[in-house]
Amino acid sequence: MPQRHSISFVLNDQPVAIQADPGKSLLDLLRNELGLTGAKQGCDSEGECGACTVLLDGRPVRSCLTPVGKIAGRQVLTIEGLGAPDGLHPLQTAFIEAGAVQCGYCTPGMLLAAKALLDRQPEPSRGQIVEALEGNLCRCTGYSAIFDAVETAAARMRGEGRDQARAALPSPPASSATPVGGDALRRDSVEKVTGRAKYVEDMAVPGLLHARVLRSPHHHARLLSLDPGKAERLPGVVRVLTAADVPGANDLSDYSRNEPVLTPVGDTVKMKGAPVALVVAASPEQARAALEAVGVQYEPLPHTFDVADALREDAFPIYQGGNVLTSHRLAHGDLDAALAGSDVVVETGYQTTYLEHAALEREAVLGYVDQEGRLTIVGGTHEPHWQQAYIARLLALEPREVRVIMPPTGGSFGGRQDPSPLLATALAVHLLRRPVRLVYSRLESFTASPKRHPYRVGYRIGATQDGRLTGVRVRIAANTGGYDAHGQYLPDFAVVASGGAYRWQAVDAQAQSIYTNGPKGGQFRGFGTPQSNHALECTLDELAQQLGEDPLEFRLRNALEQADVSFLGYPIAESLGYGAVLKAIRPRYLESRRRVEAFNATADEAVRKGLGLAGMWYRFGKSGSLRVEAHAELARDGHIVVYCSAPDYGQGIATVMSQLAAEQLGLSRDLIELVNADTALTPDSGIQGASRATYWVGNAVCRAVHNLELAIRGTAAELLDCPPSDLELVDGRVVVQDHPDRSLSLESVAEAFDSLGKSRRVPGFFDLSSQFPEETRPKYTPHFVTGAQTAEVTVDLHTGQVKVDRVVAVHDVGRVINPLDARGQIEGAIMMGLGAALMEEHVPDHSTGFGSYYVPTAKSTPEIEVIPVEVPSYQGPLGAKGLGEAAILPSTPAIINAVSRAIGARMRQLPATPERVLGTIQGRPPEGSRS
């Protein structure tokens, strides 16, 4: 009979013989036994994500679904064998250049799937590329840049275009000479395309223990007892931790009211997946087995997912103080008069649903005690210094006894603001004094991680016959689920986004954040604003239709001008480009309209096309402190080191920071080193949320660099014996103007700093606290970006299936710092907005992974055109504004307006699944809500 156990195969062109269990997966073999961590696990090895793709005899396979037995005698190619940093494969080069790499978690799988295609088909059509990549999910890029990259690489490999196969990426990148506005390549991309980037799950740590969280299976229950005894006696189990083990405050601090890290006995769990105990064992399997052995008793309590139920007089209280967490109201003008003076008043009710971030990397945190005895936590986050404070509070330590480091991270979209996994890991490391890693399963991530808050939004909104908006009344019920998780701050955001960049005579807007026993809501790209904006922009579309107005001209007529009193009741404080945006989209809009009308005039009765338009305004950079700090240092060898905390989970902010520094100094970007997001090394630059990094941290970086430049000039001036104002920085040297022979290298300036005893590291602050005193309104800085998008869709009227054909996105983002990244952020946001419009819906109890929660795949990608409108900001660094989140706001309503217009009826519930679309076409009442 054939051989067993000993398996020989060829791995990345090298013959290998191993002893292995042939029934285990190739993915586990590669990652755990061979140390090749380029292949990623994005789902629970269910074959649903494609991140683990490798080539077996040249064909793409899911390594998680490939038993090791199958590779005997075959060739396996992993990303590590595709091309090394000094000899990149043309696909790798093209991915970097096209901006096809954001968080990089999908990248190894994508590259290998693409390679298999090009090996078989050197001249693939776009359709073939889509088909080949269909099985590989990407949550960041929106796919278009990836398709482009494959086309470019194919052309080059055929000998068209500039470099040939196996060309090395020019290093430093050729474009680094023009830091801002040129297509600056990502600093970390080479690591990512070669599979060398080490994400938390990829880090090898000797003596590592593995933690798993025991979670409530009930949506609402009292925790009666916990007995870890049996679990602790299982092989490999080190400890079962409970609330009783927490040395400090068992909470999430001001991130979330009333949310424990581990639920104490006697207390209630408010949602399924609420944490109850933490099991630590020698292997992940042992930890998993121990979960089932923990003795735990619950008393189930009545539960609801529905805000209407939770608000009822006789509702079962989820919290002592009642089920309303917070509310916020904004009112000015005489609404009754405004509506009475309207020729048309429409009333609408819109509903949105729970959404999952579905970043390709699951929640993963590593912790250890470093050589200095300091508790060190490595995990994706938006604010390392806040986490440091939370951890210190949990463990009753001083913040300086805790270090938080941001590793390469596989996407966030807001999901990584949840401190829970970091806190749980910190607790285990602190108590056991051993290295511990906590990785959520995908199922666990779906159950326990924060979601987009579902909204119910009711509008009453009026206009005059000549198309002028009068008054708006809006009521928003936001479902914050079982825990606060920032839901306390939500109503303000919901309200602000509900009025848009339009002129109103009178406003009455109110939002409530309401507890239910659904999954906890949390931060999610655009925190609390896309839902309101969706309802607003759909309602405006209904109003325009009733008035017989063109939706674009209607919005333009009512667009807020710079000096106008805004929806907030006062003018906004940054430059405003909404009118310019609408004008810029007009030609595309008219083109689309002609196309859609021509199609419909001759179409078969079963299909209709529709064109939709939606706008948005988005308040960026609201969060956190009004005073932000960064540092710049002249290194001993003459290069510049920038220190800041702007965590990069794939959106490319690290590149932006070094670009800004380079531009400020007129230096090439490779002379700039960035030290980012590590509490032991970098200053607190505040939370990275609400797209504030470029504007706020960028400004602080620019100021730090400016201060450093002043110091450099000052010192150099003494040495060169001239006034500082005569000096310029040229190619890494300080030169006396008009005297090129009189110059100093930055290295010698650094030497002079040292000999003079001057610090080579200087801080810079961006501080708006004098403009916005703490005690007075506005509580948040009234800085807004605006944008508008059109969507063209095709609807099958017999089945309700929708295909988005084309999206045009026009955004005022101030000055564009990195066009490639700006495009990538916008395309990624559009695809996420498309998912929310048509397919994404987290159904509690049913959505358990990528097989039951439908994120858009390659085939759903429409043609996308991105047109930036650059209305420079007043105070942003080099005129930039915030970008990353805003682009998602118009996508969903533009698509839904297009569908509604195509079918001649309004889609008021998200997502517009084939079933809901057909139901609306046939006039069936929408089914009962699930959220």
Nearest distance in Å: CB 918, ligand FES: 32
Binding-residue pattern over the window 852 to 891 for another protein, x denoting contact by CB under 8 A: x-x-xx-xx-------------------------------
Piece in contact with ligand FES (CB under 6 A), picked from 68-76, 100-108, 524-532, 569-577: 100-108
Per-residue mark of binding to ligand FES, 644-663 (x: CB under 6 A)? ------x-------------
Neighbouring C-beta atoms of residue 217, cutoff 10 Å: 15
| Binding flags for another protein, 5-44, as an x/- string (CB under 8 A) | x---------------xxx-x-------------------
Of 346-405, binders to ligand FES (CB under 6 A) are 360
Minimum separation from the CB atom of position 676 to another protein (A): 35
Pick the closer one to ligand FES by CB: 113 or 252.
113
Binding mask 720-739 for another protein (x = CB under 8 A): --------------------
**Contact between 361 and 409 (Cβ < 8 Å):** yes
CB-CB neighbours of 401 under 10 Å: 16
Rule CB under 6 A: choose which of 36, 94, 106, 211 binds ligand FES: 106
440 counts as binding ligand FES under rule CB under 6 A? no
- Taking a C-beta distance cutoff of 8 angstroms, is the pair 53, 109 a contact? yes
Stretch that binds another protein, among 268-276, 572-580, 811-819, 843-851 (CB under 8 A): 843-851
**What CA–CA distance (Å, rounded) separates 501 from 616?**
7
Quote the radius of gyration of the chain (alpha carbons, Å).
28
| Cα 684 from chain centre | 21
Q: By CB under 6 A, is residue 42 in contact with ligand FES?
A: yes
Between residues 64 and 701, which has the closer beta carbon with respect to ligand FES? 64
Chain mean position to CA 383: 14
Stretch that binds ligand FES, among 50-58, 215-223, 537-545, 896-904 (CB under 6 A): 50-58
DSSP state of 877: G
Question: Does position 138 bind ligand FES by CB under 6 A?
Answer: yes
Q: Tell the smallest beta-carbon distance from residue 136 to ligand FES (Å).
A: 8
Q: Is 193 in the site for ligand FES (CB under 6 A)?
A: no
Nearer Cβ to ligand FES (41/664): 41
Region near ligand FES per CB under 6 A, out of 44-52, 155-163, 321-329, 371-379: 44-52
Q: What contacts 775, CB < 8 A, 6 or more positions away?
A: none
Tell which one of 60, 411, 462, 884 touches another protein (CB under 8 A). 60
- Does residue 919 bind another protein (CB under 8 A)? yes
CB of 70 to another protein, least distance (A): 7
Give the β-pairing of 268-269 and 75-77.
Answer: unpaired
Q: Which stretch binds another protein (CB under 8 A): 128-136, 160-168, 248-256, 395-403?
A: 128-136
150 binds, among another protein, ligand FES, none (CB under 5 to 8 A by kind): none
What is the x/- site pattern for another protein, positions 594-613, by CB under 8 A?
------------x-------
- Contact status: 104 vs ligand FES (CB under 6 A): yes
Residue 412 near ligand FES by CB under 6 A: no
Check residue 521 and report its DSSP letter.
B
Strands 375-379 and 402-405 come out as parallel
Q: Which residues between 655 and 674 bind another protein (CB under 8 A)?
A: none
* Residue 923 binds another protein, judged by CB under 8 A: no
Among 94, 103, 366, 832, binds ligand FES (CB under 6 A): 103
Residue with tokens 């931060």: 523
Q: Does position 791 bind another protein by CB under 8 A?
A: no
Residue pointed to by tokens 């196309």 = 595
For another protein, the binding residues in 259-278 under the rule CB under 8 A are none
| 909 lines the binding site for another protein (CB under 8 A) | no
- The angle at the Cα of 248, spanning 246 to 253, to the nearest 5 degrees, equals 105
Cβ–Cβ under 8 Å, residues 660 and 698: yes
- The span from the CA of 395 to the CA of 735, in Å, is 53
Distances (CA, A) of 153 to 97, 176, 185, 697: 10, 22, 17, 36
The least distance separating another protein from the CB of residue 696, rounded to whole angstroms, comes to 37
Q: Assess 801 for contact with another protein (CB under 8 A).
A: yes
Tell me the number of residues near ligand FES by CB under 6 A: 25
End-to-end CA distance of the chain: 57
Q: How many CB atoms lie within 10 A of CB 405?
A: 18
Cα–Cα distance measured from residue 438 to residue 40, given in angstroms and rounded to the nearest whole number: 16
Apex 192 CA angle, 186 and 197, nearest 5 = 115
User: Binding to ligand FES by residue 45, rule CB under 6 A?
Assistant: yes
Q: What are the b/e assignments for 781-798, b being 16+ CB within 10 Å?
A: bbbbbbbbbbbbbbbebe
Structure tokens at 249: 């405050």
Of 423, 438, 344, which Cα lies nearest the Cα of 388?
Answer: 423
CB-count burial class (<10 Å; 0-12, 13-18, 19+) for 867? middle
Contact call for residue 66 and another protein (CB under 8 A) = yes
If you ran DSSP here, which 8-state letter would residue 413 be given?
T
HEC string of 39-50? CCCCCCCCCCCC
Tell me which DSSP letter residue 24 carries.
S
Q: What is the spatial distance between Cα 113 and Cα 518, in angstroms, rounded to a whole number?
A: 38
Can residue 124 be called a binding residue for another protein (CB under 8 A)?
no
Helices 551-558 and 529-547, packing angle to 10 deg: 110
Q: Which is nearer to ligand FES, 187 or 486 (CB)?
A: 187
* Contacts for 303 with CB less than 8 Å, ≥ 6 apart: 218, 219, 220, 316, 517
Interface with ligand FES by CB under 6 A: which residues?
A: 41-43, 45, 47-52, 62, 64, 102-107, 138-141, 360, 411, 650
Interface with another protein by CB under 8 A: which residues?
A: 1-2, 4-5, 21-23, 25, 45-48, 50, 53, 56, 59-62, 64-70, 72, 113, 116, 131-132, 134-136, 606, 796, 798-801, 838-839, 843, 846-847, 850-852, 854, 856-857, 859-860, 913-915, 918-919, 922, 927
